Structure 1
Amino acid sequence: MNDKQPKPGDEPRRITDLGTLKAFGHPLRLKIYSTLRVAGPSTASQLAGQVDEAVSLVSYHLRKLAEHGLIVEADVQSEDARERWWQAAQDTLSFRHEDFKDTPEGVAAHAATVRTLIAQRDEQYKTYLDQQAAWGAEWRKAADQSDFLARLNPAELTRLNAEIHALIKTYEEQGKAAEAAGDTAGRENVAVHLASFPFRL
């Protein structure tokens, strides 16, 4: 009997409770969760090597993520049935300021989590910049870093974000379908970071 929880796949999850947000927002847990999303099912020892931390510490944080349903156990991927494998519980995870705005603790936890995510994304991009020569001319030409300025109202910004998200999702699905059909040549993980927000001078 398999008592592992199945991965919901594309079923999105929105974090709305403070306990889960605080559990998710820990810097190392964010890194572990992100690694599981990219690498797929992994053991604590594999993750420890990828995030450069002790196995015991990674195991502790995996349990905390599991307590809040952010990760679930995966089917064993090796011949050693004693190994415990983990996977992200969902492909799409979100959290919004509006769900935490009513308490100072909630506002602080939301801001801290967003800042940690931005710092980790910044680190990821800097790593690419440091290594871009090794990627070759084709990937360097395809990669992009752009900045746009638009005069919008909130409804227009909401619509713009929805359209961008839908377009990226289309490419995600096309990539998955192509790989499933055996078209794997030249494919790599691609990070698309989007930030859209109002500002005044």
Structure 2
Amino acid sequence: MEQASRHLGPKDAGALKALSHPLRMRLLLTVDEIGPATVGMLAEHLTQPVGVISYHLRQLARHGLVAEVPELARDRRERWWRFVPTEDLSLTPSEFADDPVGLIASRATMLQWVEFTAEQTRRWVEDMHAWPREWQDAALLSRLGQMRLTSEELRRFGKELNELVERWQAHGENAADDSPDRRRVALYCHAQPLGPPPGRSPTA
């Protein structure tokens, strides 16, 4: 059975290099966002030529980040792709401290993810008044506040948050109703310490 999560470490330099490409990161997260899709559907969604999308999908597939779904194809020319894994991709920044190449690749990958989430958030703000009022008011777009935590407490908070998200994911997937109001919802969360790193001057 395919694992529901995948951790990217120093041994995954090729995958991180692939993800550091702006279009590939957008492509991967788009496949995750909209579910299985054809090359044509993805090209239209990202306003890119079909040939370009096809090339970058193959690069992502080389590293096991996307996979074909042949059972969805209606003929031999149609190719469907899906996100792999279906739940989570993660990396631990400290693992790359002694790996200069991996450090650059992992940082570039994270920066591309930040750019994508910012783009998605901007799109929501631009379009939100075209949505029904209940969705406008239910969406979360705010800073929820500061906490005074140790690094271990922040790690525990992240674990509890992941468990909460998993519980609501299961709720949505197992819901018995087919309400037209049920939509895919993206949650973007950033939790990082404020101020300069230890030993660095605030004005540096």
Q: TM-score, normalised by structure 1?
A: 0.89
Q: Which residue of 53, 76, 79 maps to 1:84?
A: 79
Q: Secondary structure at the match of 2:85?
A: coil
- Residue 174 of structure 1 aligns with an amino acid whose one-letter code is H
Give the equivalent residue in structure 1 for 2:150: 153
Structure-1 separation of matches of 2:41 and 2:180: 25
Moved more, 77-86 or 153-162: 77-86
Q: In structure 2, what is the equivalent of residue 133 of structure 1?
A: 129
**Paired position in structure 2 for 1:3:** none
Partner residue in 1 for 2:8: 15
Counterpart residue number, 1:173: 170
Shift of residue 195, structure 1, vs aligned partner: 0.6
* Equivalent AA in structure 1 for residue 118 of structure 2: D
Conserved? CA contact 1:76–1:83, under 8 Å: no
Tell me, yes or no, if structure 1 residue 110 matches structure 2 residue 106.
yes
Say whether 1:41 aligns with 2:36: yes
State the Cα RMSD in Å: 1.6
2:160 to 150, 160, 163: 163
Deviations 1:93-151, CA, capped at 9 Å, x for gaps: 11221232212222121111111111111111111111111112111111122321011
Q: What letter is aligned with 2:33?
A: V
Work out whether residues 13 and 93 of structure 1, in 8 Å CA contact, stay in contact via their aligned partners in 2.
yes
Deviation at 1:184, TM superposition (A): 3.3
1:158 and 1:114 map into 2 onto residues whose CA distance is 18
Map of 1:45-64 to 2, 5 A cutoff? Answer: 45-64=40-59
Q: In the aligned structure 2, how far is the partner of 1:25 from the partner of 1:79?
A: 33
Contact 2:61 2:67 (8 Å CA) reproduced = yes
CA distance in 2, matches of 1:99, 1:113: 14
How many angstroms apart in 2 are the aligned matches of 1:159 and 1:183?
A: 35
Q: Distance in 2 between matches of 1:39 and 1:75?
A: 17
Distance of 2:181 and 2:26 partners within structure 1: 26
SS at match of 2:174: helix
Q: CA deviation at 1:187?
A: 1.1
- The secondary structure found in structure 1 opposite 2:148 is coil
- Contact map agreement 1:76 1:84 (CA 8 A) in 2: no
Q: 1:39, 1:33 → 2: CA distance?
A: 10
TM-score between the two structures when normalised by the length of structure 2: 0.88
Structure 1 letter corresponding to 2:131: W
The one-letter code matched in structure 2 to 1:169 is: E
- Aligned mates of 1:161, 1:177 — CA distance in 2: 24
Q: What is the CA distance between 1:78 and its match in structure 2?
A: 4.1
For structure 2, which runs of at least 5 residues remain unmatched after alignment? 196-201
Matched to 1:51, the amino acid is L
Of all paired residues, the percent bearing the same amino acid is 35
Is 1:95 aligned to 2:95, yes or no? no
Q: Secondary structure at the match of 2:68?
A: strand
